């Protein structure tokens, strides 16, 4: 993965270190490993971000930030990937998670996708929480594994391609 391409979309690390909502993390934000773009930190960031985006809870960004700190993932990428879950994408994502959880549990309840708006989900929470949570965890773990593996493979492919070009030029 080209570092410069990814770095164009990331905020400066000093902006995040000084953000008022992240001050509770203290000196942990000053760990330079949280800001490096390398194969391991980027792959871990994709795993953390893709897992957290499927958590059916408020505060997904905070959970992603804390997990990134714990596993040494790139903090900005971990937090930004959570933004895939937004008011437009939440209903279909969580409906799919609910359907998967219902299928795994064998409790096929016919619930309309309209339930997966904020008001509808709160009204029907007693009926949907367990299949929704199970489906979200299954999808989150699966996407995290796929994202981690894909980033590691793409990064390796890019490095090998760069080595071959360098060898062809005789550098």
Helix 60-71 crosses helix 39-53 at what angle (to 10 degrees)? Answer: 150
78 close to 148: Cβ distance less than 8 angstroms? no
* Model confidence band, residue 133 (pLDDT cutoffs 50, 70, 90): very high
Question: What are 137-154's pLDDT values in tens digits?
Answer: 999 999 999 999 999 999
Distance CA 62, CA 59 (A): 5
Domain that holds residue 122: 3-169
Could you tell me the pTM of the whole model?
Answer: 0.75
Phi, psi values for residue 157, rounded to 5°: -60, -45
* Model confidence band, residue 120 (pLDDT cutoffs 50, 70, 90): low
Tokens describing residue 156:
């390796």
Q: How far is CA 94 from CA 19, 20, 121, in A?
A: 30, 30, 10
Is the pLDDT assigned to residue 122 strictly greater than 70?
no
b/e per residue, 34-49, with b = 16+ CB within 10 A? bbebebbbbbbbbbbb
Pick the closest to residue 82 from 100, 55, 121, 101 (CA basis). 55
* Model confidence band, residue 118 (pLDDT cutoffs 50, 70, 90): low
Q: Burial level of 96, CB count in 10 A (0-12/13-18/19+)?
A: middle
Structural domain total, the chain? 1
Question: What are 58-69's pLDDT values in tens digits?
Answer: 889 999 988 998
Percent of the chain scored above 70 by pLDDT? 70
Question: What are 9-48's pLDDT values in tens digits?
Answer: 666 666 666 666 666 666 666 666 677 788 888 999 999 9
């Amino acid at each position: 993965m080209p570092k410069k391409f990814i770095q164009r979309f990331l905020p400066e690390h000093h902006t995040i270190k000084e953000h008022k909502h992240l001050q509770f993390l203290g000196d942990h934000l000053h760990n330079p490993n949280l800001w490096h773009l390398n194969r391991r930190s980027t792959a871990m960031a994709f795993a953390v971000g893709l897992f957290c985006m499927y958590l059916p809870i408020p505060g997904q960004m905070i959970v992603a930030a804390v997990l990134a700190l714990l596993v040494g993932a790139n903090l900005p990428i971990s937090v930004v990937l959570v933004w895939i879950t937004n008011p437009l994408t939440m209903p279909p994502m969580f409906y799919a998670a609910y359907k998967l959880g219902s299928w795994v549990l064998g409790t096929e309840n016919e619930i309309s996708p309209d339930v997966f708006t904020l008001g509808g989900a709160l009204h029907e929470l007693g009926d949907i929480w367990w299949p929704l949570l199970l489906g979200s965890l299954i999808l989150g773990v699966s996407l995290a594994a796929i994202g981690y593996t894909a980033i590691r493979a793409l990064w390796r492919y890019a490095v090998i391609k760069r080595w071959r070009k360098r060898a062809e030029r005789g550098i």
